[in-house]
Structure 1
Amino acid sequence: MEEKKFDVKTLVGFGLIMLLLIWMLYNQSSDAEAQRLEQEKKEQVESEKQQQLTENENDTPVANDSTATTPEVSAAEYKNALGAFAYSATLPSAKATEATEITNGLLTLKIANKGGYITSARLNNFEQIHEGSGKPVKLIHDNNANLNLQFQTKDNRILNTQDLHFEPVLSKDGDNQVLTMRLKAGAEQYLEYRYVVKPNEYMMDFSIRTQGLSNVVNTSKPIDLEWQLKGYRNAKSVTYENRYTELVYEYEDGKDDYLGQGSADAEIAEDVTYIAYKQHFFTSILLTDTPFKTADLKSENLVKDEEIDTTFTKNFVAKVPLAFKGGELSYNMNWYYGPSDYKILNSYDRNLDEVMPLGWGIFGWINRYIFIPLFGALSSFIPYGIAIIIFTILVRLVMSPITYKSYLSQAKMKVIRPEIAELNEKYKKDPMKKQQETMKLYNKAGVSPMAGCLPALMQIPVFYALFQFFPSYFDLRQKSFLWADDLSSYDSIAHLPFYIPFYGNHVSLFPILASLAIFFYMKMTTGDQSMAQPPQEGMPDMGKIMKVMIYISPVMMLIFFNNYASGLSLYYFISNLITIGIMFVIKNYIVKEDKVHAMIQEHKAKPKKQGKFQQRMQAMMEQAQEQQKNKQIKK
């Protein structure tokens, strides 16, 4: 897939892509029975929801003819169902249809009286980009999210805030808009949600506290907070978007982890400081100043068939306990509803950059400190498509010395191949002696079999970092180049009237160009690679394997990247073109066979002094050879 050589020395890198592809195929597979069970489950859930809504309407009546004419009966019903919190249900704000709307330029939020939580979160500057859409991105809309506190009262009632009515008060604090939502058990007894929305900010302050409820609520046990969200699809390919949709969390003073891409994943973490529901290019995050002692986290994959399941990607659920201190509850938190943009998330200095899948270890280091600043600088003054091309040229130029060293090693191995063949024939009945003499030849000629392998391995961190960089770079979203109308999504040039498994129902051009480039590159180098490595006895003929890989690798790229970001396919296309050019120059003007032969002969003429490692290896081989002779004599 990457610009490195596809020989035995670089199969490690190619194996990574094989594993990724196998994982995709496994994750997408489902049989008819599974779909039927899933559909029955959905129908059952919807039926239960409808039944619950009906029961709630019957149990907690709102303003209608009955309540207007018999208020004393309504109050009694409320008291019987809600105890002390019947006070809140009798206030004028107790209307399920009412909500308070707040906008700060970037965000438009709606907070409902019933439940007191955000029922709509719209990002004003972004649109959905799947076919036939163009609607604004809504992270929360139409009951896809819920925030609920479940608690026990002193009279042993179990109440859920999602079913109760809060009293809203909207005020101003400088330029900030402040909304307090109070669930009241009396005039000065309440549970309060406090939202502070700042101008042109995706992050808002959020606090939960109680006042005067120590005689109403059972404070001997924590209140259970549950936050649930089903991620809406916002991209053209629901499968591609779902691949980068995941639950990320920080725990135990700075550690971070995520739930995988399985059909249903769960984890219990301790001392959690934030929980992020990442939807590829957009993210909903709950942060807390006081770490949650434990968090029960769940992620359910809702995309079983991308032709059927086209609305939601994953269902996230987090359950955390909120502990009382001194008989009261007090938690200062934050909400973030906004882009999965590394620059924005990193600016809050809350370790939120870990939400971005930039890779672990050296891979993430390369992305954070090299690729993101470099590409950001290029794209600040030139179009994004041109920036990708220049970025690719710079990366390939920096990597060209590694390409040179790898090819030089192959050229040397190719020159001494006849001598190795002679040793193989001469000592074919004595493998130990053959290995010993081969090592001597390598040392004498100044050739190391690992010299070609190490440069190839050095390219793997760069390759993997780029593989993570392009799908995660938010600024590519809705940026066009040539026929690609969005560099963060696939570049469809034709829509198929049928669906091809694992490929899709469209044709992307950049993956085709990248596949052709990698085919010609492998065609150009495979002959030299097979000649550089003579077949070993008992080992498969890598020359034959490489000839097969010439055709398999482009096909895999074509299938695998048809639904990927066109920016990534553009990079691979340009990268392979540049690599072909670099290899052509090296092969025809720099590393010529006669020059390599002269180099080896010159090295052979020099006196050789074995290093300590070579001396130990030589001694071990001679000792093993001597033991083998003694065994034969005894026989």
Structure 2
Amino acid sequence: MDKNTIIGFLLIGAIVIAFTFLNRPSQEQIAEQQRLRDSIQQVESQKAVSEAERLATDGPRQTSEIKQQNRAADFFATGTPAANDSIGAPADSTTETKAAEEEFVTLENEKLKLVLSTLGGSIHAVQLKGEKKFNGDSLYLFEGDEARFNLELFNRNSVRLSTEDQLFTPILTADGKSVIMRLESSPEQHIDLIYTLPANEFMLGFDIRIAGMKNGLHPESLTNFRINWEQKIRQQEQGRQFENRFARLNYRYLGQDVLKLSDSKNERKELTEPVKWVAFKDQFFSTIIIAEKPFSNTILTSQPLSTTEYIKDYKAETWVPVTADPQKDELTASFNYYFGPNHFYTLKNYDKAIKENNQKLYLEELVDLGYKWLSWINKYFTIPVFNYFLKFDWGMGIIILIMTLLIKLIILPLTYKSFKSSAKMRVLRPQIKEIEAKYPGQDKEMMLKRQQATMELYNKAGASPMSGCFPMLLQMPILLAFFFFFPSAIELRQQSFLWAHDLSTFDSIIRWEANIPFISKFLGNHISLFCLLMTVVNVFYTKYNMAATDTGQTQMPGMKSMPILMSVMMFFFLNSYPAGLNYYYFLSTLFTIGFTFLFKQFLNEDKLLAQLEANKKKPKKQSGFMARLAEAQKMQEKQARERAKEAAKKNYRK
């Protein structure tokens, strides 16, 4: 450091000391400053006492409302959060404080009981009156943190306001059918979440209304509100595995078919087309969000859960189109919630007042009635007939019995035709054995001659192996339609019959907790009695039918035991299915056996054989199918002869 630098520092220090000495306050000034400090302290003390008295009088809730108003006012007026605060998460409120300040309001009618929370202004719980969980508890679709609703808004500085962390003020209407949850920054500026529940309805009206805040919002929030809806799906039925199979997140594009996410794996889908509704579906109950104006830019997520209490976790993030009212300086968005059963006619009735087809909801498509080419049987026959019999209050077991008998009577002509075809094959059995004795062996030439002679016999006698198959094929759609109807029929839920306490789920007579390899995987941890009875009767009928339809022709090894094996395999497949379905299959097979015995009594096989012998003497025109089959056989026989000649020539040359 040089000499000039040292002299400079000394001069600066001297100046500072001199300035401090010359500006030192006098004794009078010091006394005046002390007096002012004492006065300020006294004023602050009086203010603290007044604030404490006001808190004791008004309570913490009013203070919280004022703070909420200040936060909302700061958000919309200045575009920034309040000092030492963050939008959507007040720094001065812990989780315990919020819980203490949270209040609940009940809104209910004859079918629903809704509990609304002031924290977030959202639906806290939904109870379906008159419905019970499989264990007898009251049926709640969700309660507490099992569901989450959040409205997100952005101000002009892109600061986010999340309603789920805000405390709303409830306002009940005079008629008791509506509740307004209000987040207010001033009398002219507020956010309203309006819930309207009509009498005797599962449908809840929901409106979002923002007043006096248009100038403070980001342009994006002026056209669309962003909402998030999440819900964990409770296990409501006894058969968790089966219920899980029918629990799916469904959605419908505007004017298009109903689609769904996977029921067995995690799936996330981004939808860019307009979406009319999104359904969080269980086997028998659903939460449906229905847009007045179609949702846009929707993201759906479905996740299976392995906990004992829940089976699925659904999420929907979407943008709700906004309607602006410039005269009132209001922004509104409207949609509906459906909290209720997956009942076909209940859901279908919501389209009665909608005349335009492209605006219809088609909520009844949530009821799984099978593939499109099959579901029409359930929609236009099974369900109407089933509902007709419900009027008589006969009990589900009797109704299923009557419906099974009715179905069997309708298809009785087809059953008789199939039986008669089998009888023709049976009376021709001795002649078939003669043909097999005439053309013995398994070489190709003998097999072709044997087959050709057999088909010629059938053609002359007027019998056809295929004539018995076509009636059976025509019955298959009805059997398949019922396979889809019973698991989706909420009318069977918790309806008992004989030993089955609930026809909508399995009727276990034996249960175990241990995991048995292979057995538990396919059967579950139980044995269903109706399924067991159905299997026993089906095996008996299969063996009887095989004996009755034996034509005497030689079959491939193992083919005779295949039908019986298939009947046994059905037990493993259907053991976890509803008792109502297995009861129907059990009755159906019993009726089939009964009609078969009746047919056998009325059909004289001697007369039938005489008729077939008479047919041989008549000129017979082959059907198109039989003609083509005969032509194919002739072609195969010709090719076989040519191959034999070629082989003979080669051997001769050698």
TM-score band by shorter chain is: 0.7 to 0.9
CA distance in 2, matches of 1:487, 1:612: 48
Residues 325-474 of structure 1 mapped to structure 2, 5 A cutoff: 329-349=331-351, 350-381=361-392, 382-414=394-426, 415=428, 417-418=432-433, 421=436, 425=440, 428-429=444-445, 438-474=454-490
Question: Could you tell me how far 1:316 is from its partner in structure 2?
Answer: 1.2
8 Å contact from structure 2 (residues 251, 259) kept in 1: yes
Question: Could you tell me how far 1:499 is from its partner in structure 2?
Answer: 4.9
Question: Could you tell me how far 1:125 is from its partner in structure 2?
Answer: 0.9
| Aligned Cα root-mean-square deviation (Å) | 3.5
CA distance in 2, matches of 1:612, 1:460: 25
Question: Could you tell me how far 1:627 is from its partner in structure 2?
Answer: 6.5
Query: Deviations along 1:379-435, whole A, 9 cap, x unmatched?
Result: 321122111111111122222322222232233334253366367649842766666
Corresponding residue to 1:509 among 501, 526, 529 = 529
The percentage of counterpart residues that share the same residue type is: 34
Unaligned runs of 5+ in 2: 1-58, 75-80, 352-360, 650-654
Larger deviation, residues 281-290 vs 431-440: 431-440
Corresponding residue to 2:173 among 171, 174, 197 = 171
Match of 2:579 in 1: 566
8 Å contact from structure 1 (residues 85, 183) kept in 2: no
Task: Kindly name which structure, 1 or 2, has the bigger radius of gyration based on alpha carbons.
Answer: 2
Question: Could you tell me how far 1:442 is from its partner in structure 2?
Answer: 3.5
8 Å contact from structure 1 (residues 362, 461) kept in 2: no
**Alignment-mate amino acid for residue 550 of structure 1:** I
Residues 153-168 of structure 1 mapped to structure 2, 5 A cutoff: 153-168=155-170
**Alignment-mate amino acid for residue 216 of structure 1:** G
**Alignment-mate amino acid for residue 283 of structure 2:** H
Q: Tell which has more relative contact order, 1 or 2 (C-alpha 8 A, sep 6+).
A: 1
Question: Could you tell me how far 1:144 is from its partner in structure 2?
Answer: 0.9
Q: Secondary structure at the match of 1:429?
A: helix
Corresponding residue to 2:127 among 90, 109, 122 = 122
Question: Could you tell me how far 1:259 is from its partner in structure 2?
Answer: 2.0
CA distance in 2, matches of 1:263, 1:527: 46
CA distance in 2, matches of 1:437, 1:289: 71
TM-score (normalised: structure 2)? 0.75
Unaligned runs of 5+ in 1: 1-62, 304-308
8 Å contact from structure 1 (residues 241, 280) kept in 2: yes
CA distance in 1, matches of 2:525, 2:628: 61
Match of 2:33 in 1: none
TM-score (normalised: structure 1)? 0.78
**Alignment-mate amino acid for residue 106 of structure 1:** K
Match of 2:285 in 1: 282
Structure-2 change in CA distance of 1:594 and 1:72 (3 Å): closer
**Alignment-mate amino acid for residue 576 of structure 1:** T
Aligned length: 550
Match of 1:235 in 2: 237
Larger deviation, residues 352-361 vs 202-211: 202-211
Residues 93-242 of structure 1 mapped to structure 2, 5 A cutoff: 96-129=101-134, 133-173=135-175, 177-220=177-220, 222-242=224-244
**Alignment-mate amino acid for residue 424 of structure 2:** K
8 Å contact from structure 2 (residues 68, 167) kept in 1: no
2:534 paired with 1:534: no
Query: Deviations along 1:286-312, whole A, 9 cap, x unmatched?
Result: 111211234322221113xxxxx3211
2:499 paired with 1:483: yes
CA distance in 2, matches of 1:599, 1:334: 69
Match of 2:26 in 1: none
Question: Could you tell me how far 1:84 is from its partner in structure 2?
Answer: 11
Larger deviation, residues 362-371 vs 440-449: 440-449
Query: Deviations along 1:322-381, whole A, 9 cap, x unmatched?
Result: 244559753321111112222211221231111101112242111122111212222321
CA distance in 2, matches of 1:497, 1:517: 29
Q: Secondary structure at the match of 2:200?
A: coil
Question: Could you tell me how far 1:497 is from its partner in structure 2?
Answer: 5.7
Residues 293-308 of structure 1 mapped to structure 2, 5 A cutoff: 293-303=296-306
CA distance in 1, matches of 2:166, 2:294: 27
Q: Secondary structure at the match of 2:107?
A: strand
Question: Could you tell me how far 1:94 is from its partner in structure 2?
Answer: 10
Q: Secondary structure at the match of 1:484?
A: coil
**Alignment-mate amino acid for residue 374 of structure 1:** V
Residues 592-603 of structure 1 mapped to structure 2, 5 A cutoff: 592-603=604-615
2:621 paired with 1:606: no
CA distance in 2, matches of 1:161, 1:196: 19
CA distance in 2, matches of 1:632, 1:262: 58
Structure-2 change in CA distance of 1:276 and 1:599 (3 Å): farther
Larger deviation, residues 309-318 vs 439-448: 439-448
CA distance in 2, matches of 1:301, 1:235: 16
8 Å contact from structure 1 (residues 323, 329) kept in 2: no
